[in-house]
Amino acid sequence: MTLLHGHEQPTEVFVTPTVSLRHVNRVFDGGAIVALDDVTLDILPGERVAVIGRSGSGKSTMLRALAGLDRGVTGEVRTGSRPAVVFQDAQLFPWLSVLDNVALGLKGSGAKPRARHMLSEVGLAGREDAWPRQLSGGQRQRVSLARALVREPDLLLLDEPFSALDALTRVSAHALVSELWVRYRPALLLVTHDVEEALLITDRVLVIEDGRVIEDRRLDPNRSRRRDDPELVRCRTELLHLLGV
Amino acid sequence: MSPPPFARWISPVLLLAAWQLASSSGLLPASTLGSPEQIASTARDLIDSGQLQDALVVSLQRVAIGVVIGIALAIVLGAIAGLSQWGDVLIDPPMQMVKAIPLYGVVPLFIIWFGIGEAPKVILIALGVLVPLYLSLSAALRDVPQGLKDVATTLRLSRWERARRLIIPAALPGTLVGLRLSLAVAWLVLIVSETINADRGIGFIINNARNFLQTDVVVVGLLTYAFLGVFTDFLVRLLERRALRWQGGVRR
């Protein structure tokens, strides 16, 4: 860190992080369960970060804190000014049409056209008037992604969004998320228990155990993203080892 | 061979024919039960003289006032109990106590308190509507999925949007079930309260006829009650189908 003295101007332009956590804690049951243990973390604008860990490691707690869904966290939490979340189950409102789900909460006359455009971006043009229950699991998750992205979030939070999808649908969902990230460039935080998924989609992997970040690994953004790339395989083995597999 | 659609009418028609036969042959005296033919002509007479319509208006009015009061109370109390934990703690126990008291058992008390005019009837109906509707509404509000509430929070829905887009549609199916039950109870309470004492209305016609052993008039009164019950149930079903379209198959 550079220390500034007097009227000296900074020589480097510092980017304000989108997410900034300082000594963040979260306990449940009066301290019996420590879900987040002194977590300090920055996520820069447009950065893609994966959080992996076993069930109950605290990864979902971190996401909920960043989504503004948890008022019980202590410490300094600065999250995106417009965070958007894609939940594990698409969590669409079943009584609203697909289009109304995407446009939900948007203001102004441009809401519907924007929602319509975003639906076409996720490959669902023509399904605007369908009810959510008429869609497949993969399609519902795409609606959920459209609902998040139409808000032009500076932080996109993905809570195991692919875990309920079948293998083939998952591959195309991965591709879609990568493609849309290139276009909209939000900071992205992916919570997953799938190491390979983390390595394919993001450029930085955090391993969480007992509420602590035990590994913060940055990857070369220009690396090969082939599943059988030796570097990726090696990295996957190491991370799996950290997870105790 | 599966039965054709009209087959469901065979047994009712046969029963009606048997009833008519029993009456015409003198096996079933008119003082016990009038014949279907006699009942039909009595119904026509009551309608032609305007008696049935007048009685219907009076009875409908009683039910309408009681139902409106009951629904309003149920919505206010159910919303408070379903949406706030303190509301639940404070409102639910007394409501559970009211639920445990047999509704018709309080009639003597109501007569002492409110006399024998319109008030005890309307209040009894309101109470009959209140309990099932309150129970289903407060339960439906408590059961709004947490996941969808989280979505509403992350989408930063305003209070009004949250109510209109999430809470109300989510609570509607359960509430409508309670409403149907409530309206069924309303008719039953009306019948009971009109049987106890009434100087006007369908209950009055029935009681009056009882004094003169006019079984045909009693049956016409019963049929009117039955028709009203079925009709209101039909209305709620219609409302259900309209409000719960999204649960069905194809849109529109």
Domains contained in chain A, CATH given: 19-82+156-242 (3.40.50.300), 94-152 (no CATH)
Whether residue A180 contacts residue A121, with contact meaning beta carbons closer than 8 Å, is answered with yes
Q: How far is CA A195 from the centre of its chain?
A: 14
Contacts of B174 in chain A (CB under 8 A): none
Site from A61, A87, A95 to mutate, B interface, most B CB atoms within 10 angstroms: A95
Output the tens digit of pLDDT for each of chain A's 245 residues: 444 454 545 555 678 999 999 999 999 988 888 999 999 999 999 999 999 998 888 899 999 999 999 989 999 999 999 999 999 999 999 999 999 999 999 988 899 999 999 999 999 999 999 999 999 999 999 999 999 999 999 999 999 999 888 888 888 889 999 999 999 999 999 999 889 899 999 999 999 999 999 999 998 888 888 888 888 888 999 999 988 87
Interface probe, candidates A63, A70, A91, chain B, greatest B C-beta count within 10 A: A91
Q: How far apart are CA A118 and CA A84, in angstroms?
A: 14
Task: Report pTM.
Answer: 0.82
| 8 Å CB contact between A30 and B115 | no
Complex ipTM > 0.90: no
Strands A212-218 and A204-209 come out as antiparallel
A33 three-class SS:
strand
In angstroms, the separation between the Cα of residue B249 and the nearest Cα of chain A is 8
The HSE-up count of residue B111 (CA atoms within 13 Å, CB side) is 11
Residue A215 is encoded by which pair of tokens? 């590994």
Q: Which residue has the tokens 């939900």?
A: A104
Report the amino acid identity of residue A32: A
Q: Is B106 on the interface with A (CB under 8 A)?
A: no
B153 chain-A contacts, CB cut-off 8 A: 68-69
Describe the strand order of the beta sheet including A187-192 as a list of residue ranges. Answer: A83-86, A155-159, A187-192, A48-52, A204-209, A212-218
DSSP-assigned letters across all residues of A126-178: T-TTS-GGGS-HHHHHHHHHHHHHTT--SEEEEESTTTTS-HHHHHHHHHHHH
Query: CB distance from A30 to chain B under 8 Å?
Result: no
Record: contact A96-B157, CB cut-off 8 A: no
Q: Could you tell me the domains of chain B?
A: 37-243 (1.10.3720.10)
